[in-house]
Structure 1
Amino acid sequence: MRSGAKVVVIGGVFVLVAGGLGYGAYAVLGGEGGGFASAPVKTGPPSAAETADASAAFFKAWAAGDAAGAARLTDNETAAEPVLTSYGKTAHIGKVRITPGAAVGAKVPYTVEATVSYRGKSQPLAYESELSIVRGRTTGKALVDWVPGVVHPRLSEGATLRTGEAESPQIEAVDRDGVVLTKEKYPSLGPILDSLRQKYGATAGGTPGIETWVEPADEKRPGTTLLTLAKGKPGTVQTTLDAGAQAAAERAVRKYQQASVVAVQPSTGAIQAVANNPATGFNAAMQGQQAPGSTMKIVTAALLLEKGLVTANGAAECPKEVVYQGAKFHNLDRFDLPDGSTFTQSFARSCNTAFIKLIDDVKDDSALAKEARDVFGLGLDWKTGVVSTDGSVPEEAGGVAAAQYIGQGTVQMNALNMASVTATARTGTFRQPVLVPQSLDDRKLAVTERSLSPSARRQLTTMMRATAAWGTGAKAMASVGGDKGAKTGSAEVDGQATSNSWFTGFSDDLAAAAVVQTGGHGGDAAGPIVAEVLRAGS
């Protein structure tokens, strides 16, 4: 045997090791011939006993601070070791106690109780997570299926845990009247407050504290504070939010599993409420991208009115179905309206075919995209003060362009975009939505080429008022006071049995829009959310 090589016996298995590397494993065989034979590699799901043993071994190594040993018990040692090492070295987490719960198949839930210590400061840290046990592809061993969330549920790929002096001081965000806005009271604001801290914390007049945080792989994204060991002095950041409208928005979205709402002041563009359910993580209300369904008919109606192809009180055909360049379109439940019905009736009843029939007369399939950009400011790179996504209406042709007329096809919006569309329809002039005043950082806001023509604005708001009074939005808007208008939408999405519910409306100087995933008709799910926010802000 070469120098440096040795034989180790582990549980009845000989392992030949040289220079610290295992060269092979062989089972001991009886019989006169002696010798060795390869042990068969196990296959199939890990047994309950294997799941218990593998998870227990991993927990023991992790709790002991043996990052390398714990990493070897996963199916991706290379990725696991630096994260496990950072747990003790850069996050300064020690005195770790892990308590497993009852396994469900190969999944093992557990609680972690530990202590974070840094520069004489310490705080307890407790959280829950889970792991899965899988069988190694080449070894057949039961191993931990490695994902960063094994170490902490807030960790994603490439993210790390850190403890130290915070990179930015804490902030105290306040609403337009000086009311303090916290994650605890307004959970939906969590991602927004993190973004505000990242962007404005260094200039808001505060001093940093000592914290434990999740540092994302993308340095453009804000970190998430997990624990504060020593408080610094927070700086104050003014927002345009309204605490009353925000509280109403938080209550409203909690009634549905996946819902978002935004409220905007038409006269200023000030964002007064933003809420999502679920409340943590992705800010779908301002960053989502989905087809908005018939709420897009606000923009389409503006185009047709400005082109002089319709008037609010003029006749507009609404057949059960129409065909445009080979693409067939129909109304919900294939309803139609009697001959002589007005364009206002088609708008208020959300007749798809009345809009599709007029695309030929426009004589420019890309005209809707131009109207969306030049009048409603969609796609002009909004600078709201936090991360947000502009609406998108690409220039299209044929059947795809026709689908855009009713908010399907390649149109992509979120609740913020549609609230702004309604605000623009209300006043006739686009005012770029903002969540923090422009004066805070002198950023350049988006400006459109022109306003909506006065005639088109008057007719469009009249049609929206009709929708709220006796059209598809009447039931949802019945409890809303003031000068009010609305538009409903149901967006069909491939693979979904039930359409997404969209609704947008205004009351006096407040506009709001909401979307509920698989919520069905716009007035059924999204409508009540918008109504609750409008009532609070009126």
Structure 2
Amino acid sequence: MGKRRRVAEQSSGRPLVIGGLIAAAGLAGAVGAYSMMGGAAADDGTAAAAHHRPVKTGPLSASEVRTAATAFLTSWQHGDAARAAAATDDSSAAAQLLTGYRKDAHLTGVTLTPGTASGASVPFSVKATVSYRGLSKPLAYATKLTVVRRAGDGEPRVRWQPSVVHPDLTAGDRLVTGEAGTPPVRALDRDGAELTAAKYPSLGTVLDGLREKYGKQAGGKAGIELRIVRGAAAKGAQKTPDKTLVTLSEGTPGTVRTTLDPALQAKAEQQVDGRSRASVVAVRPSTGEILAVANSGHGFNVAFQGSLAPGSTMKIVTSTLLFEKGLAKPDSPHPCPKYVTYGGWKFQNDDKFEIKNGTFKASFAASCNTAFISQATKLKDDDLTRVAQQIYGLGMNNWAIGVPTFDGAVPVQSAAQMAASLIGQGGVRMNPLNMASVVSTAKTGVFHQPYLVSPSVDHRTTAKAARAMSAATRDRLKEVLQYTAAAGTADKAMAGLGPDFGAKTGSAEVDGQKQPNGWFTAWKGDLAAAGVVQAGGHGGDSAGPIVAALLRAGS
């Protein structure tokens, strides 16, 4: 009893209430709830009897959800990681993270307060105290759990996923309290003023990335923190930086200056605020300096790290290819039928429109899909990939902007998928940073890798394109982009911004999503921007006003 009594003494002593069911405050209550779920240790006779029970099927009842959630939350609250883990459908993974909650994160006095269940989902709030070497601070957050039927016997169990413990946790992540892995940094805008997440909410993940990259070399000293230490998967493909949750003692920050423009950053924040799943990036075409970045969701940085089909904004790259191969000229006749079949797929235009006896410029401005698909028979499978890499610097995974990025993907594809990639579907993936760079390259004719921190700060090597586009191709691109901004699908958003401007809209279909993702990319003078509104519909109506607002603010 000694060990069990000590665990009980660490608990908050408060009763746990879920949908009217009160779990006893003592450890016996946790065990009782746990036993109701068939998870407590049983003698051989009970185990044998359970072996012959029929497998439970069908939807979970409210009572099953309540009981399973109670078993898990009561055990966790009382510090019994083993029992809490056994109340999930993956006890091994759960036990590791729940044990670390107290042992590595040094969290005590845990109080869990469930909210109202919605079907099999139970939201709950967490309050705890972070205590380490005589220092302590409160921690509070909200998360949720979902009850499912366990494979094999159908018993209700909490579906295990790290986000049950904390919403920012993913597979392989750990909660750790101790000396921070990297010292803090004081990030500055281009004018020398401090950038904070309180002032610019979208910059939370950006500031985390700057700290991870420059904390040690900026001359700071680490403090004591509770933080999420990312697992190998997150640090690899996702490039997600560690995240500080509670600061127990401040370190001494180093200083790093960024290229962000305070006025444009404020405008970007304002434009995405209140919109659902909106992201935008502004850059300077002549240099590649990133002037603003904002996301309406302040977690994952879609603007820099998103991987989304760009839809018709990709036609900028495809047009480059067609111009280079002599397959199109702005004022030359070009087909835009209602339908084109290639590789066994039937492609069509939005609302099945067609342009009879039209030019390529007219097809580009109207975003005619078939005008591009019709050229697939004259292209090699790797043509688009080569132009994207060689001229636009995309898909090489070598951008070094100062924080983690996804650098676009234009894989070599064949048959119908190759044709789909010509209009920004298939396997093509981009984010607003990529597309702001694309329209910048189209405007200047030369790829300048975007950057948030000057390469002179850490002497890093930035990405270079293998070649510049020809002057003739650049002039043709600018012509069709200007025409689109003046008289095409982008004219409403770009009204009053000419004549030194150009734009392209995009709508990218997503499986299982009613509305397509809306894209918009444009330039005005020496300022370019790109944005996406996921499930926003037509790009000119959803992302267009966001991008245009930044261009107006920077004019």
Q: What TM-score results when the alignment is normalised by the length of structure 1?
A: 0.86
Classify 1:319/1:156 alpha carbon distance in 2 versus 1 (closer, same or farther; 3 Å): closer
Matching residue's letter, 1:292: P
Classify 1:135/1:451 alpha carbon distance in 2 versus 1 (closer, same or farther; 3 Å): closer
Rounded Cα–Cα distance in structure 1 between residues aligned with 2:447 and 2:526: 14
Selected match of 2:450 from 409, 433, 436: 433
Rounded Cα–Cα distance in structure 2 between residues aligned with 1:49 and 1:124: 33
Rounded Cα–Cα distance in structure 2 between residues aligned with 1:433 and 1:239: 12
Rounded Cα–Cα distance in structure 1 between residues aligned with 2:75 and 2:509: 50
Classify 1:359/1:41 alpha carbon distance in 2 versus 1 (closer, same or farther; 3 Å): closer
Superposed, which structure 2 residues align to 1:137-148 within 5 Å? Answer: 143-148=157-162
Residue 331 of structure 1: how far off its partner (Å): 2.5
User: Which residue number corresponds to residue 502 of structure 2?
Assistant: 485
Rounded Cα–Cα distance in structure 2 between residues aligned with 1:136 and 1:336: 54
Residue 507 of structure 1: how far off its partner (Å): 0.7
Rounded Cα–Cα distance in structure 1 between residues aligned with 2:390 and 2:245: 44
Matching residue's letter, 1:190: G
Rounded Cα–Cα distance in structure 2 between residues aligned with 1:49 and 1:319: 59
Asked if structure 2 preserves the Cα contact closer than 8 Å seen for 1:418 and 1:504, the reply is: yes
Selected match of 2:267 from 237, 245, 248: 248
Matching residue's letter, 1:521: H
User: Which residue number corresponds to residue 474 of structure 1?
Assistant: 491
Classify 1:479/1:184 alpha carbon distance in 2 versus 1 (closer, same or farther; 3 Å): farther
Does 2:219 align with 1:205?
yes
Rounded Cα–Cα distance in structure 1 between residues aligned with 2:66 and 2:421: 55
Residue 204 of structure 1: how far off its partner (Å): 1.0
Residue 474 of structure 1: how far off its partner (Å): 0.3
Asked if structure 2 preserves the Cα contact closer than 8 Å seen for 1:316 and 1:342, the reply is: yes
Rounded Cα–Cα distance in structure 1 between residues aligned with 2:219 and 2:173: 28
Asked if structure 2 preserves the Cα contact closer than 8 Å seen for 1:26 and 1:39, the reply is: no
Selected match of 1:273 from 288, 292, 309: 292
Matching residue's letter, 1:227: V
Asked if structure 2 preserves the Cα contact closer than 8 Å seen for 1:25 and 1:38, the reply is: no
Does 2:432 align with 1:412?
no
Selected match of 1:366 from 376, 382, 400: 382
Matching residue's letter, 2:509: E
Does 2:513 align with 1:499?
no
What SS does the aligned partner of 2:190 have?
Answer: coil
Rounded Cα–Cα distance in structure 1 between residues aligned with 2:214 and 2:483: 43
Does 2:480 align with 1:463?
yes
What SS does the aligned partner of 2:427 have?
Answer: coil
Rounded Cα–Cα distance in structure 2 between residues aligned with 1:157 and 1:410: 26
Classify 1:536/1:353 alpha carbon distance in 2 versus 1 (closer, same or farther; 3 Å): same
User: Which residue number corresponds to residue 408 of structure 2?
Assistant: 391
Residue 272 of structure 1: how far off its partner (Å): 1.6
Rounded Cα–Cα distance in structure 1 between residues aligned with 2:480 and 2:422: 17
Selected match of 2:249 from 196, 205, 230: 230
Rounded Cα–Cα distance in structure 1 between residues aligned with 2:309 and 2:121: 37
Superposed, which structure 2 residues align to 1:41-52 within 5 Å? Answer: 43=56, 48=62, 51-52=65-66
What SS does the aligned partner of 1:97 have?
Answer: strand
Asked if structure 2 preserves the Cα contact closer than 8 Å seen for 1:165 and 1:210, the reply is: yes
C-alpha root-mean-square deviation of aligned residues, in Å? 3.0
Asked if structure 2 preserves the Cα contact closer than 8 Å seen for 1:41 and 1:138, the reply is: no
Residue 47 of structure 1: how far off its partner (Å): 5.5
Rounded Cα–Cα distance in structure 2 between residues aligned with 1:60 and 1:100: 11
Q: Which structure has the greater CA radius of gyration?
A: 1
What SS does the aligned partner of 1:410 have?
Answer: coil
Residue 266 of structure 1: how far off its partner (Å): 0.4
Asked if structure 1 preserves the Cα contact closer than 8 Å seen for 2:122 and 2:145, the reply is: yes
Classify 1:313/1:108 alpha carbon distance in 2 versus 1 (closer, same or farther; 3 Å): closer
Asked if structure 2 preserves the Cα contact closer than 8 Å seen for 1:314 and 1:343, the reply is: yes
User: Which residue number corresponds to residue 450 of structure 1?
Assistant: 467
Matching residue's letter, 1:377: G
Residue 229 of structure 1: how far off its partner (Å): 1.0
Rounded Cα–Cα distance in structure 1 between residues aligned with 2:350 and 2:152: 55
Residue 39 of structure 1: how far off its partner (Å): 8.5
Asked if structure 1 preserves the Cα contact closer than 8 Å seen for 2:318 and 2:384, the reply is: yes
Residue 379 of structure 1: how far off its partner (Å): 2.0
Classify 1:480/1:185 alpha carbon distance in 2 versus 1 (closer, same or farther; 3 Å): farther
- String of CA shifts for 1:307-327, please: whole Å, max 9, x gaps: 334332333333333344654
- String of CA shifts for 1:94-123, please: whole Å, max 9, x gaps: 122333334444443332222111112111
| Higher helix residue share | 2
Classify 1:197/1:318 alpha carbon distance in 2 versus 1 (closer, same or farther; 3 Å): same
What SS does the aligned partner of 1:401 have?
Answer: helix
- String of CA shifts for 1:361-411, please: whole Å, max 9, x gaps: x56453332222221112232222222122222334444333333223232
**Percent identical residues:** 53
Q: Which moved more, 1:101-110 or 1:203-212?
A: 101-110
Rounded Cα–Cα distance in structure 1 between residues aligned with 2:316 and 2:105: 51
Superposed, which structure 2 residues align to 1:155-170 within 5 Å? Answer: 155-170=169-184
Classify 1:125/1:486 alpha carbon distance in 2 versus 1 (closer, same or farther; 3 Å): same
Residue 283 of structure 1: how far off its partner (Å): 2.0
Residue 52 of structure 1: how far off its partner (Å): 4.6
Rounded Cα–Cα distance in structure 1 between residues aligned with 2:65 and 2:352: 56
Matching residue's letter, 2:241: P
Asked if structure 1 preserves the Cα contact closer than 8 Å seen for 2:144 and 2:164, the reply is: yes
User: Which residue number corresponds to residue 4 of structure 1?
Assistant: none
Q: Which moved more, 1:456-465 or 1:503-512?
A: 456-465
Residue 56 of structure 1: how far off its partner (Å): 4.3
Q: What TM-score results when the alignment is normalised by the length of structure 2?
A: 0.84
Q: Which moved more, 1:413-422 or 1:288-297?
A: 288-297
Structure 2 residue runs of 5 or longer lacking an equivalent are 1-30
- The alignment of Structure 1 onto Structure 2 pairs a total of residues equal to 512
Asked if structure 1 preserves the Cα contact closer than 8 Å seen for 2:280 and 2:293, the reply is: yes
Residue 172 of structure 1: how far off its partner (Å): 1.4
Rounded Cα–Cα distance in structure 1 between residues aligned with 2:51 and 2:392: 71
Rounded Cα–Cα distance in structure 2 between residues aligned with 1:490 and 1:143: 41
User: Which residue number corresponds to residue 303 of structure 1?
Assistant: 321
Rounded Cα–Cα distance in structure 2 between residues aligned with 1:366 and 1:46: 51
Rounded Cα–Cα distance in structure 2 between residues aligned with 1:262 and 1:70: 44
- String of CA shifts for 1:28-51, please: whole Å, max 9, x gaps: xxxxxxxx9988578466655565
